[in-house]
Structures are given as C-alpha cells and as structure tokens.
Amino acid sequence: MHSGQEKVVRHLRLVKPTEEIAMTVKIAFATSDRKAVNQHFGAAESFAIYEVGETETRLIEVAEFIETAMDGHEGKLAAKVELLGDCAAVYCNAVGASAIQQLLAASIQPMRVDEGTLIDELLCGLQKNLVNEPPVWLAKHLKKQAGGKSFAEDEEWQE
C-alpha cells in the first residue's frame, strides 16, 4: 500500500428498495461508535451514512478506514470526499480548510458539532427541518435532487 492513499477496509452498504418517499437525503457522520459524532473529518476512522426522510431515518452505509495519522495528505481527504459523494452533509467535530473546499466542491455541506453530540438527536432535528424549514444547504440539495439542474451555485468557492 502506498503512503498518502487511504483505503476503505470495511464498507457495508444496505441495499433495500426504498419506498418512493417524497424527499430523502443522505447524511454522513464521522463516528467510531455509530452513536455519537466523535471524530475529526480528516482523521475519521469511520463514517455512518443515514438516509433521512420525512417519516423515517435509517442507517444505509458504514465505512471504516485503516487507522492513519492526522498528517493531512490530500489523497486521504479525496478518498473520504469520494466515499461521501452523494451525501448532502457530513457532521464531524472539526474539519480543515482543504477538506472544507473539497467537500463544498462536491456539494457536501461540512457541519461541525461538539464531540459526543448524539446522532439520533441530529437525525431528529434534520427530519423536522426536512418537513418544515430546511436550512439553505439542505434546500439547495433537495432542489438539485428534484431535477433543478439549472440551479446556480451562488455560494461556490472562488480561488
């Protein structure tokens, strides 16, 4: 294995035909125990990915990475961003500037929460937002998902 390139060691994806729910969104959480957000994005050993709908939430993927030092190799970040490709957001305890840029470029909203924040509480809040007042990043994701291809990304990062 070459240095700088992080590999997914175990990746579980649950494949079940989803009843066509009006709105669903995939949300990732940097977690080692699948109960609380307890990892920094760049050094996260695992992610739990949930599908959030108006009436239910369910765990659909868990991916674990080989343990690595927090040394900021771009290849590691790219592997994680690629894994989360169709997620609307990723919740973590911290996220570096380079990771933020890569996530936003992939239309994934980085969300920083305090260590130990319970995933169930975050899912409950997201579900309420989905039905009532979605935050701007979630509204943009839902519009794009619904086929609003011409929707301009007015908050795109410019370098």
Q: What is the 3-state secondary structure (H, E, C) of the chain?
A: CCCCCCCEEEEEECCCCCCCCCCEEEEEEECCCCCEECCCCCCCCEEEEEEEECCCEEEEEEEEECCCCCCCCHHHHHHHHHHCCCCCEEEECCCCHHHHHHHHHCCCEEEECCCCEEHHHHHHHHHHHHHCCCCHHHHHHHHHHCCCCCCCCCCCCCC
- The confidence band for 23, taking pLDDT boundaries of 50, 70 and 90, is confident
What's the burial of 42, exposed, middle or buried (CB within 10 Å: 0-12/13-18/19+)? Answer: buried
Residue 13 confidence (pLDDT): 65
Which pLDDT tens digit goes with each residue over 46-78? 999 999 998 899 999 999 887 554 455 557 888
Residue 85 pLDDT greater than 70, yes or no: yes
Structure-block tokens of residue 83 = 């894994």
- The confidence band for 149, taking pLDDT boundaries of 50, 70 and 90, is very low
Q: Which CATH architecture has domain 8-145?
A: 2-Layer Sandwich (3.30)
Q: Of residues 20 and 44, which shows the higher confidence score?
A: 44
Cα(90)–Cα(110) distance, rounded to whole angstroms?
Answer: 5
Q: pTM score, two decimals?
A: 0.79
Residue 4 pLDDT greater than 90, yes or no: no
Q: Of residues 151 and 16, which shows the higher confidence score?
A: 16
Where are the domains positioned within the chain? Answer: 8-145
The answer to whether 46 and 37 are in contact (CB under 8 A) is no
Percentage, residues of the chain above pLDDT 70: 74
Residue 91 confidence (pLDDT): 98
- Can you tell me the mean pLDDT for 10-39? 79
Residue 14 confidence (pLDDT): 61
